[in-house]
Structure 1
Amino acid sequence: MATTETGSGPLRTRSAAVALAGLAVAAGLTATTAGAAQASDSEEHCVLDVSSREYTCHGTPADARQRGQRIADTTGEVIGATVFEDVDYGGSSLTITVPEPCPKNDNVDFWLDLDDHWQNRISSVQTWSTCWVWLYPDSGDRAGPYKENHPDVGDHINDRTVTVGLS
């Protein structure tokens, strides 16, 4: 997939599945079940499968990782990243599964425009598989790549991310 960088921010071409996943996230994740919906200030641990656009939430990070692993085991997907609301991998989490390990091709291969719940909340990241994590604020800048786990993304991007890219 082609990615072109300009001075004002990334221009990107996305696959249909990734574009639809971004729309699902931006549209408030209508696939969320009523039982998974929680108040915005309570902790939730969710999994987003970018291929199927399935979004599920769980009570603990371990339950979310287990769900992400089940998706990977049954669909060929892999866990690409987990982002966290608080430093030191605390607070709510979002585990992102992708259709394949991230190729190292100098492109950002998977994009997620975050919904209102996740915008401006990311403080730590874990990388999975071969994916590197890029964090994009509204300004068009970016932080990363985070090539390994980061318990604190740094003051320059903390609580400012609106889009996550995986490369």
Structure 2
Amino acid sequence: MTGLVAAACAGVLLASVPAGAAPAPAPETSRATSGPHCATHVETRKTTCYDTFREAVSATTGGRVTNATQAKAAKDSAFVDKVNETVGATAGTAATSRAASDFFLGVIYEHTRFRGASHQFWGDGPCNDFSDQEYWMVDLLNWNNRISSLKTGSNCDIELFSERDFNGAHQLYFTNTPNVGSAMNDQAESMVWK
């Protein structure tokens, strides 16, 4: 069962887009190791999964954030920004698996109110106000039709689409959203950070 959950967490296609550039096809991400809480760096497309939300955050911050339980993150509206501040404030103090310039872009959750399996996303920089898309997922693969809540970060808004390749109904989220609404709940098949 763990293998199925791990594969579900890792199955996404990702890429980033420089301002003004046309999207290029993204290669498939690496497959997860285990666990329902995954993290993907959108530039390297490396995905790793963990047994707990706390382990995922700890690993992706190079051990600089070790107390981020899923319950704490759900209650804290500024969770993603606080993680980014902590990572930036302690950059250079120890050798870590994350570069100091990495930014926590956000988290998607399987259930409403930031519960269930989760998938964190990291990028080389924050979103800016001058680009239509900074990063994108052309197909959520095993995360298709599973997103029920999300947290945004690094100045990024998240747009969900009901079909792959940014087709179908779509909804833009500007802030942490405990319930993506009936139009998108368990409906999203592609996603853009703006």
Residue 154 of structure 1 aligns to which amino acid in structure 2? G
Tell me if 1:160 matches 2:187: yes
Report the CA distance between 1:159 and its aligned residue: 0.5
Query: What residue ranges of structure 2 are gaps of 5+ in the alignment?
Result: 1-18, 64-86, 92-97
Normalising by structure 2, report the TM-score: 0.65
2:139 matches 1:111: no
Fraction of identical pairs, as percent = 24
The alpha-carbon distance between structure 1 residues 134 and 108, as it changes in their structure 2 partners (threshold 3 A), is same
Residue 140 (structure 1) shift: 2.3
Tell me: CA distance 1:114–1:90, structure 2 relative to 1, closer, same or farther (3 Å).
farther
Q: How far is the alpha carbon of 1:134 from its aligned partner?
A: 0.8
2:171 aligned with 1:143? yes
CA distance in 2 between partners of 1:67 and 1:87 (Å): 25
- Structure in which a larger fraction of residues adopt helix: 2
Residues 3-33 of structure 1: CA deviation (Å, up to 9, x unaligned): 8xxxxxxxxx23x6xx53xx324xxx43x23
Shift of 1:108: 1.5
Structure 1: distance between partners of 2:20 and 2:170: 17
Tell me the secondary structure at the aligned position of residue 61 of structure 2.
helix
Q: CA deviation at 1:141?
A: 2.5
CA distances 1:40-80 after superposition (whole Å, capped 9, x unpaired): xxxx0000101111100011122222233239653221110
Partner residue, 2:39: 47
Q: Which has the higher strand share?
A: 1
Match of 1:67 in 2: 59
Residue 106 of structure 1: CA displacement? Answer: 4.6
How big is the alpha-carbon RMSD for the aligned residues of Structure 1 and Structure 2?
A: 2.1
* Alignment partner, residue 90 of structure 1: 115
Aligned in 2, Cα 1:87/1:50: closer, same or farther, shift over 3 Å?
same
Compared CA separation, residues 123 and 55, structure 1 to 2 (3 A): same
Given the alignment, which residue of 151, 154, 169 partners 1:129? 154
Task: Structure 1: state its 5+ residue gaps.
Answer: 4-12, 39-43
**Paired amino acid for 1:45:** H
The CA deviation at 1:99 is 1.0
Kept in 2, the 8 Å contact 1:102–1:109? The answer is yes
TM-score (norm 1): 0.75
In 2: Cα distance, 1:132 partner to 1:86 partner? 20
